[in-house]
């Protein structure tokens, strides 16, 4: 698949995201939830490595990431609102 084909696919996906904002927001929330779950798993695996410092910090971050990711997957509307609030505060 070439660059031009990838561009056409991204244009089509962008138009679909504009036409169906609710579906795109829910899918974005679920995608962030999956990313947070993977981040929590990686922090949880870093707790038992001997050459990594800050075991307690990694454990706390793992719990927060896992809880946030599970919450965004189980309750995607709350995840959309959370993302909107975080974006609004950061800007």
The pLDDT value given to residue 38:
95
pLDDT digit string, tens, across residues 36-85: 999 999 988 888 887 777 788 888 999 999 999 999 999 999 999 988 89
Question: Can you give the pLDDT at residue 47?
Answer: 84
What does the pLDDT look like over 1-49, one tens digit per residue?
789 999 999 999 999 999 999 999 999 999 999 999 999 999 888 888 8
Residue with tokens 């599970």: 70
Grouping H, G, I as helix, E, B as strand and the rest as coil, residue 91 is coil
The Cα–Cα gap between 32 and 38 comes to: 10
- CB distance 35 to 70 below 8 Å: no
pTM of the model: 0.80
Query: pLDDT value at position 18?
Result: 94
């Amino acid at each position: 698949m070439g660059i031009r084909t990838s561009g056409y696919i991204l244009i089509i996906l962008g138009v679909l995201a504009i036409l169906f904002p609710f579906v795109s927001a829910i899918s974005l929330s679920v995608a962030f939830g999956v990313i947070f779950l993977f981040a929590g798993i990686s922090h949880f695996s870093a707790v038992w490595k001997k050459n990594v410092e800050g075991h307690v910090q990694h454990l706390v971050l793992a719990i927060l990431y896992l809880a946030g990711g599970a919450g965004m997957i189980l309750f995607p509307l709350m995840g959309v609102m959370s993302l909107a609030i975080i974006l609004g505060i950061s800007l």
